[in-house]
Structure 1
Amino acid sequence: MTVFSNGSETANLVASSGLLQQLWTANWNLYGNNDPNERLRFQVYSQENYNILAFVTSPLTLQADQADLASLSTLKEKFPVFELLCSKNNPTFAINKATILLFASYHNILSELKNELCKGPPYKPLIITGHSLGGSIASLFTLWMLNSMDLSKTKRPLCITFGSPLIGDHCLHKAIFQSQTWKSCFLHVVTNQDPVPRILLHHKPAHQKGVYKPFGTFLICCESGSACFEDPDSILELLAATASHGAQSQNPYQAMPSVDYGPVVENLYHRTFCKGATELVDWAKQPFEVGIIRQLQAIGVAQPQQQQNIDIINLIKREKQLVSKTKLFDPSKKLNDMKIYMVYLEWYKKLSKNDKTGYYDSYKEKKGTCEFNVEVFKKELTNYWKDMVKEAENKPQKEGASFRIRWLGAGTNYRRMVESLDIAEYYKENKLNYETQGRSHHYIRLEAWLKEWEELLKEENNSGGKQNNSKKESVASILTIDSCFWAKVEEAIILCNLLKTEKFGAEEKVKKLKDFESYVWGLLTNYEVSSEIFLTGSSFMKWWKDWKAYKKTLGSSFTSPLDDFMESREYVDYDGGNWSPPIYTRPF
């Protein structure tokens, strides 16, 4: 943790750069020659290194009878723009009625604007700004842009609003908070003289349980200083506690702009943030707490001589928890540890191959001390990837897809390496039907995401058949493509044992075993199965011995390409990458 909280550092950076003055000027200029019939006005200002998009609204736009929340579920059929924010654990949310109706009425015009801004090259970073209800529109437009821009070619848009009212309920906050990168795109500037940001503070939506909840970072300003906070409950308390008497008595529905933010941002530019008289010794002992208190003092909330109307201790506690949650799950840093565990499992795989048993069966039998370490590393890897999958599912749709693609390669290697160990433990306990009854959800999701990505690549590249050259060259070390391969082997072994003891249903069992043969042959012809399955001590070879013996009782006509492959020991050439699949014309 640095000396100041993250919010304070953000405030210093933006305010000291002079950017706030430039953005407010862009908003203010839109009020000139305002047409009262034009409810929404916007303008793109092209700068040398970035573009500014500003939004303002007419005074008649913010009406008292439109303060309620409109549920996304009631809008998505006619207006599905913001479904991108939904996720498995947060399927819907609500947005201020006035804001969403205004946005929807300008949807076609805003669509053209969005498409134009997404065009390139050249690609310029975009800063989106707005005042009052125009700030709410700016926030929604930013969320829309986040789903449309090619972030590999340009930076994420930054949204900075002035005096914007609250926009949505706690589910909207949750949807945005689920993405660390998205929530960092929003900064809302609020002065204590402005009633508009506080208009929905205590509003109880009709016939709804939800209430308004802020998202993003709030820069709260007054004549004596400024403070920056991200925790939504802290923001709600501070918006109420910092409202001046003039803001409390002013009608927020009157003609706007009710507050000129020009002097406010100019004061910010010339002021040093968070001045205070706290002793240096206290600062050194508790830098985070002192940083928060100095910010509160700067906006007149934590002055010793004043009676407090907020709980400072709880406010500090919430801000600490917010920082902890942000840092708790950092997949980039922890991935290096996971790579070390994967290297150990690779070493164990090679060791098992040298013992002529194989990775799967060595772990299943657990004869040595190595398996204890493997079990520990397997647990660490599984906990990590369960968290990763949960994180991806909880993210908004677009951001979640980006997250999955970024980590899909590592997740696929993990699944193919570790799931076989779970299968070994499962069948060691004499259980049945792993794929339908025992498979973990995170394996299913990782596999599904890989298939989705492969289909997307196939469509983009119009690729035909698979190329086997790279697989042939590395066949000695590859992981079997189907991470459930050993579960299929175990089920095939069970079927062979049943054929020895049960005559009833033999035809169905034989058909399933023939299908398994066909499945194995398909893997072989594409070099998609590890050569370790042919080790003398492997479960696959045990199955093949039983199945071959049973097939002999059925006559010589019951043969297959796999028979020829196994009898001629072509798997030796397969292991060296020197085998080429023959072309069979007879039915298999």
Structure 2
Amino acid sequence: MPSLGVLLLLHQPVLVSLAPDRRLGSKSPDAEGVLNGEYPPGDLLKEEELVPSTSLPQFQFLCSKSSSSFSIHKAAATLFGRLHDQLVNLKTQVEQFEGQFKDRTRLIITGHSLGGSVASLFTLWLLDNISQRDKDKDKSVIKHTLCVTFGAPLLGDKGFQEAISCSSLWNSCFLHVAANQDLVPRLFISPHNPNAMDIDSQTGPYRPFGTFLLCSASGCTCVEDPDAVSELLEAMGLETAGIQNPNEAWQIFDYGKPVKCLMSIVNIKGLAQLGELTVDTLRAGIILQLEAIGVISIQQNSGNRELIAKMEKDCLLKKKKAFDPSKKLNDMKIYMVNLEWYKKTCASDERGYYDSYKSKGSSQKDIKVVEFKKRLNKYWEKMVAEAERKPQTEGAAFMTRWLYGGTNYRRMVEPLDIADYYSKGCRDYKTNGRSQHFIRLEQWLEEAKKQNVSPSSTDSKKQKVSALLTEDSCFWADVEEALILCKSLKDGDQRKSRESTIKNLIKFEEDVMKQIENYAVSPEIFLEKSSFMQWWREYKEIMGTTYSSQLTRFMEK
């Protein structure tokens, strides 16, 4: 009986092969039958069922706050589970060679048909294990890991796709080769599978991830965009949709031919003919793609105008909506510079930028600050949301550049959010008003400190800016709460005992002193008209002239 073949080559590259054979037969489809190749892959049309992530504990690491659940192909999940012990042994063998990896060494995991699905799951499992073990090191092993599948069906739903695609590092580890004569890659595309569920779009619930190498007798093309992959897989299926003989339709496709072709030549054709038809480079690229995978011929592309126009429109729309954090970060730096200028100008009236913003008027300067704050918040909320969508075990820490930018932004802008919050008469900002993206930025900074990652420590200019900002971005919320406590004592509010209120005020005083000793507060808190100095005067009056502490002695100097 044929079974899963496993091959480890101890020289470069290291290859892991997962490829169950496929034979025609009549038995009912189940995972064991898939493994042993005892029934035709066409029977998988009845097995398009997805299983939820809650029943897949070994892949819970893919969940994140924004993608809390996903589903994958039931047969693939079942087969992976049945092979668990063998795959554990295989993973152990792979780990033994990690220490021998050199710059040009690649770990290649490959599988055919449903074996390709198992290969993808095994690769994810391996990547997670590497990430957990080597989170403090560079991820050179991950960068040199590649999963190549041949004729594999789509594996999971939109949640599964997003969990992988949102990590560019992980997404780049997958290459799926699909031929136009092989029906299995299009197994769960609804026009070719009458049993597929029509959820969210015409292609059903299944979504592609990674890079797809689509092949035909005419050539091949690489596609990364998931929507384009779905459309092209659907278009490729039209050629084989009319085959009457099921045995002929489900014959095993020999992927050796396109692989040999790719290894021997790189052939670019059709450009001369296209030159007479179009000068639009985007449309030209789309037409060449469709010709390469056998969907159209250049001479007869007029019959496929609808498909070409749709792909062109989708491409332009995605480009327009694309969120490029690198380019936008430069815009954010300009807004930050404007806020720093605002901060400096506010110091001249002994008030400080926090209190100046809190009592802002209708001047052009105040209006611009509101706009700068709004744009910065929108950018960093999106940045944090994008990072949250990555697999949990990749860690939350940004690259140093992003970590520094996010930290400076939080320390500069969150006080302005606090000012808006307390201006409305609200209380308890930390519990009821603080945005989740500020919390995550602060947590990521703490994680980086534990790993001895210093945000932009070599940039003296940035160090200077950072030194002028109070490190605790919630400092002014604590000041506001302390002012409210002082007012409650003056007004004789009985909701809290005087002893408890005094205790809380003393704790705030001690916290402030610790920050002063650690040079963690901006000098502007001591400006005469600041909220902090207002608190200090009220607190000193409440405690009386005989009260002495570190802070009272410091303030009297």
Instruction: Tell me which interval the TM-score lies in, with the shorter structure as reference length.
Output: 0.7 to 0.9
| Amino acid paired to 2:78 | L
Which segment drifts farther, 101-110 or 237-246? 237-246
Matches within 5 A, 1:224-243: 224-229=218-223, 230=225, 231-243=228-240
What is the DSSP-based 3-state SS (H/G/I as helix, E as strand, rest coil) of the residue aligned with 1:168?
A: coil
Q: In the TM superposition, what are the counterparts of 1:437-586 in structure 2 within 5 Å?
A: 437-455=432-450, 457=452, 477-504=467-494, 505=496, 506-552=498-544, 556=546, 558-567=547-556, 569=557
Task: Look up the match of 2:331.
Answer: 337
| Distance (whole Å) between structure 2 residues aligned to residue 398 and residue 376 of structure 1 | 36
User: In the alignment, what sits opposite 1:581?
Assistant: none
Give, in whole Å, the separation in 1 of the partners of 2:121 and 2:511: 50
Question: Residues of 1 paired with 2:102 and 2:244: CA distance?
Answer: 44
- Cα distance, 1:365–1:323 mapped onto 2, change above 3 Å: closer
Does residue 1:98 correspond to 2:98, yes or no?
no
| CA distance, structure 2, for counterparts of residue 383 and residue 434 of structure 1 | 20
Structure 1 contact 220–227 (Cα < 8 Å) conserved: yes
Q: 1:208 to 1:88 in 2, by over 3 A?
A: farther
SS of aligned partner of 2:278: helix
Three-state SS of the structure 2 residue aligned to 1:220 is strand
* Partner SS, residue 7 of structure 2: strand
Question: Aligned pair in 2 of structure 1 residues 245, 117: CA closer, same or farther (>3 Å)?
Answer: farther
Secondary structure class of the residue paired with 2:473? coil
Question: 3-state SS of the aligned residue for 1:160?
Answer: strand
Residue 87 of structure 1 corresponds to which residue in structure 2?
64
Is 1:316 matched with 2:281? no
Distance 1:310 1:176, change over 3 A: farther
Shift of the 280–222 alpha-carbon distance from structure 1 to 2, 3 Å rule, reads same
Change (3 A) 1:566 1:132: same
Match of 2:369 in 1: 374
Which segments of 5 or more consecutive residues in structure 1 lack a partner in the other structure?
A: 1-35, 462-469, 570-588
1:411 alignment partner, SS class: helix
CA contact (8 A) 1:69 1:169 kept: no
Label 1:199 to 1:546 Cα distance change in 2 as closer, same or farther (>3 A).
closer
How far did residue 305 of structure 1 move?
A: 8.0
The one-letter code matched in structure 2 to 1:561 is Q
SS in 1 for 2:147: strand
Equivalent residue for 1:296, pick from 282, 287, 290: 290
The amino acid that maps onto 1:38 is S
**Counterpart residue type for residue 71 of structure 2:** A
Q: CA deviation at 1:489?
A: 0.8
Cα shift readout 1:527-576 (whole Å, capped 9, x = no counterpart):
22222211222111111111111222xx72x4322122212x2xxxxxxx
Change (3 A) 1:516 1:312: same
Give the counterpart letter for 2:353 in structure 1: Y
CA displacement, residues 209-241 of structure 1 (integer Å, 9 cap, x when unaligned): 774332233222222233443324313412422
The Cα shift of 1:329 comes to: 1.2
Structure 1 residues 239 and 350, CA, compared in 2 at 3 Å: closer, same or farther? same
Cα deviation digits, residues 270-295 of structure 1 (max 9, x gap): 462452665526532x2112211232
SS class of match (2:396): helix
1:57 to 17, 20, 38: 20
State the alpha-carbon separation in 2 of the partners of residues 290 and 207 from structure 1: 34
Q: Residue 411 of structure 1: CA displacement?
A: 0.9
Superposed CA deviations along residues 171-207 of structure 1, whole A, max 9, x for unmatched, are 2223223233433332222222323323444457799
Please list the CA deviations of residues 429-455 of structure 1 after superposition, one character each: whole Å capped at 9, or x if unmatched. 333322222222211221233334444
Q: Give the counterpart of 2:259 among 265, 271, 288.
A: 265
- The reply to whether residue 119 of structure 1 matches residue 67 of structure 2 is no
1:153 aligned residue: 140
1:1-16 counterparts in 2 under 5 A?
Answer: none
Task: Say if 1:198 and 1:366 are closer, same or farther in 2 by CA, change over 3 A.
Answer: closer
Q: Distance in 2 between matches of 1:121 and 1:259?
A: 33
Aligned to 2:396: 401
Match in the other structure for 2:171: 183
2:292 and 2:189 mapped to 1: Cα distance? 22
SS at match of 2:285: helix
Tell me how far 1:242 sits from its aligned partner: 3.7
Q: Is the 8 A contact 2:178 2:215 kept in 1?
A: yes
Partner of 1:138: 119
Kindly provide the amino acid, as one letter, of the partner of residue 312 in structure 2. I
- Classify 1:517/1:271 alpha carbon distance in 2 versus 1 (closer, same or farther; 3 Å): closer
Matches of 1:382 and 1:248, distance apart in 2: 60
Q: Which residue of 1 aligns with 2:387?
A: 392
SS for the counterpart of 1:130 is strand
235, 246, 252: which one aligns with 1:249: 246
The one of 161, 164, 167 equivalent to 1:173 is: 161
| Cα 1:204/1:175, change in 2 over 3 Å | farther
State the alpha-carbon separation in 1 of the partners of residues 208 and 540 from structure 2: 68
- 1:343 deviates by 2.8
Matches within 5 A, 1:271-290: 272-273=267-268, 275=270, 278-280=273-275, 283-284=278-279, 286-290=280-284
In the alignment, what sits opposite 2:358?
364
How far apart in 2 are the matches of 1:107 and 1:132?
18
Secondary structure of 1:218's partner? strand
Post-superposition shift, 1:117? Answer: 4.4
- Letter of the 1:489 partner, please give it: V
Q: Supply the AA of the counterpart residue of 1:99.
A: A
Report the identity percentage: 43
Count how many residue pairs are aligned between Structure 1 and Structure 2.
507
Quickly say closer, same or farther: Cα 1:423–1:128, change in 2 above 3 A: same
C-alpha separation in 2, matches of 1:415 and 1:243? 56
**Alpha-carbon displacement from aligned partner over 1:458-515 (angstroms, at most 9, x marks no partner):** 9xx9xxxxxxxx9xx9799342221111111112122222322225243333222222
- Which range moved further: 515-524 or 209-218? 209-218
CA shift in 2, pair 1:248/1:493, >3 Å: farther
State whether structure 2 residue 21 is matched by structure 1 residue 41. Answer: no
Matched with 1:25 is none
Write the distance in 2 (CA, Å) between the matches of 1:404 and 1:275: 43
Q: Any unmatched runs of 5+ in structure 2?
A: 23-33, 455-459
Would you say the 8 A contact 1:214–1:235 is kept in 2? no
Give the aligned residue type for 2:7: F
Structure-2 change in CA distance of 1:92 and 1:217 (3 Å): same
Q: Partners in 1 of 2:241 and 2:9 — Cα distance? A: 34
User: Of 410, 417, 435, which residue of structure 1 is paired with 2:412?
Assistant: 417
Cα distance in 1 for partners of 2:63, 2:195 equals 22
Instruction: Say whether residues 1:110 and 2:90 are aligned partners.
Output: yes
Native 8 Å contact 1:364 1:428 kept in 2: yes
The TM-score normalised by the length of structure 2 is 0.80
CA shift in 2, pair 1:455/1:228, >3 Å:
closer
Q: CA deviation at 1:420?
A: 0.8
Structure 1 position 164 matched with structure 2 position 152: yes
Secondary structure at 1:213's aligned position in 2? coil
| Structure 1 residue 360 displacement after superposition | 1.5
Note closer, same or farther for the CA distance 1:376–1:74 as it changes in structure 2 (3 Å cut): closer
- In structure 2, how many angstroms separate the alpha carbons of the residues matched to 1:215 and 1:405? 28
| Aligned 8 A contact 1:404 1:449 in 2 | no
